[in-house]
Structure 1
């Protein structure tokens, strides 16, 4: 049982760290870089990124993080000697689930609307600008929250590792 607790906690920490790092990279590099680009470039690039990110590696980490955290929480809750990790694990899971809620309610609908806008090379500059302005600011705000929440989750999982 100890091996299972350790393995799931390490795997939860790694997968959460990967997703937190992804969101962080968008917050500090990708979106600020695209902010310096033309409207059509931002729209086209984000459309391409949104298509490319839907792959097995991303899904494995994105869905694996909460599943592994939940499994770790259950494994720690069943052993009286490891119950000191329950609170940080529960909060880590809650903050990650909040991240998923933000993604599902804000980022994914914005990504879908961006895709529905069509190819920016076939639109005029006014349409590209409108598409960008309805997408960029709300997406960035939501992504900042996702970055913060997954970072909190990562810190709590790391703390749980120290308790282990």
Structure 2
């Protein structure tokens, strides 16, 4: 079993459409049912265009795309440049096999060591205990609960707002961290 994490490309559109079509995947994300390859090709093309601040990663398990993750600016506000929003998905067949941890490690490394990100944010449904455990493993903490956050399968569901601050923020040359 070999897990490979790499940058996503528009060529991953078919794999993303398959991944996001699984009810237990889109049901735990802010995705809608029945995505298609064209939709994902457009999203991946836009998000991976030169000059875009987003980072999209694909995880392959023995050559098959079984996970995705992304870092996205929290918004256009100048005063929130230090914040990025994180999203992740893993195919049910690849869960509890290290794929989520590999994606999270890559996201945190990029944010901490290359992108100057001080704060990572995410939302997770309160009943998604495996995801909450994964996020806690990487230093995320629950900061609040959003009641009736989203519609899922005909019912409103709550979500936790979770965040992680850079564990060792950079210092200036000549200063001690």
What's the TM-score once normalised by structure 2's chain length?
Answer: 0.24
Of the two structures, which has the highest relative contact order with CA contacts closer than 8 Å and spacing of 6 or more? 1
- Higher share of residues assigned strand: 2
